[in-house]
């Protein structure tokens, strides 16, 4: 009898781990924007679904033959530039994470303790809404996740993003841009909030990053 109970518990645990974030609530709002996922020069445009139902956007059983997607959030264009260089070098598709309520320069004022960004960063539970088309993560094996560092961490919208998708079976590669702060804390937070995926060590880039720097980094992965 003890063996049967042990077998049943093991089976339940395996089923629970199969989809590590099925219990997460998706914070992303789907709209009909056709700009969200951009076809790279060497790959076919991915299918993006318009459903808010996380389970319908994920299909981890497909053979994706190493297809990669570069996702990024960028408030002032620096991370966008790096993301585009990564997509160029790797031939990956690219997807911009856009805030449903765009950030103004007042929102981004880190000298103002009452600015939107400062308040969001002071509250780990905040999940700013994402707008635009959802990704079909089932189309990809590798997902790059890029963002700026805000107050030493990931912008809270990145937590919305990682909690909106199931990364099980995916290689996840975080990268950031910042004035000087490292990626470490943001990387740990995102990995914990995503709850699954094979996370590679993250990489911080400066605003002066060149394609050569990107190529050198890609070779180390």
Ligand X SMILES: Cc1cc2nc3c(=O)[nH]c(=O)nc-3n(C[C@H](O)[C@H](O)[C@H](O)COP(=O)(O)O)c2cc1C
Cα–Cα distances in angstroms (integers) from residue 96 to residues 36, 51, 81, 133, 216, in the given order: 6, 18, 11, 10, 24
Taking the least distance from each CB to ligand X, the nearer of 64 and 115 is 115
Contact 173, 183 (CB under 8 A): no
- Write out the E strands in the chain: 37-38, 68-72, 93-96, 98-99, 130-131, 142-148, 171-177, 198-199, 203-205
Residue with Cβ nearer ligand X (119 or 195): 119
CB of 207 to ligand X, least distance (A): 6
Taking the least distance from each CB to ligand X, the nearer of 90 and 178 is: 178
Q: In the complex, what is the shortest distance from the CB of residue 85 to ligand X, in angstroms, rounded to a whole number? A: 13
Instruction: Closer to ligand X by CB, 96 or 141: give it.
Output: 96
Lookup result for tokens 């620096």:
78
Nearer to ligand X, 72 or 165 (CB): 72
Q: How far is the CB of 149 from ligand X (least distance, A)?
A: 4
Closest contact distance (angstroms) between CB of 158 and ligand X is 12
Interface with ligand X (CB under 6 A): 74-80, 108, 110, 117, 148-152, 177-181, 207
Smallest distance from the beta carbon of 109 to ligand X, in angstroms? Answer: 7
Task: Catalogue the E-assigned strands of 19-169.
Answer: 37-38, 68-72, 93-96, 98-99, 130-131, 142-148
């Amino acid at each position: 009898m003890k063996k049967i109970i042990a077998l049943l518990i093991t089976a339940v645990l395996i089923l629970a781990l199969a989809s590590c974030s099925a219990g997460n609530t998706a914070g992303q709002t789907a709209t009909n924007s056709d700009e969200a996922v951009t076809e790279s020069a060497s790959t076919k445009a991915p299918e993006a679904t318009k459903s808010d139902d996380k389970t319908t956007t994920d299909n981890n059983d497909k053979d994706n033959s190493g297809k990669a997607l570069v996702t990024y959030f960028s408030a002032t264009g620096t991370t966008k530039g790096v993301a585009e260089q990564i997509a160029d070098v790797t031939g990956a598709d690219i997807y911009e994470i856009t805030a449903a309520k765009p950030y103004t320069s007042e929102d981004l004022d880190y000298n103002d303790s009452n600015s939107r960004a400062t308040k969001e960063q002071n509250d780990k539970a905040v999940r700013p809404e994402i707008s635009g088309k959802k990704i079909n993560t089932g189309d990809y094996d590798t997902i790059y996740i890029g963002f700026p560092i805000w107050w030493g961490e990931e912008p809270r919208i990145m937590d919305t993003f990682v909690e909106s998708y199931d990364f099980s079976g995916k290689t996840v590669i975080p990268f950031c841009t910042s004035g000087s702060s490292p990626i470490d804390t943001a990387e740990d937070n995102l990995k914990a909030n995503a709850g699954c995926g094979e996370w590679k060590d993250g990489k911080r880039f400066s605003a002066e990053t060149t394609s050569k720097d990107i190529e050198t980094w890609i070779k180390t992965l």
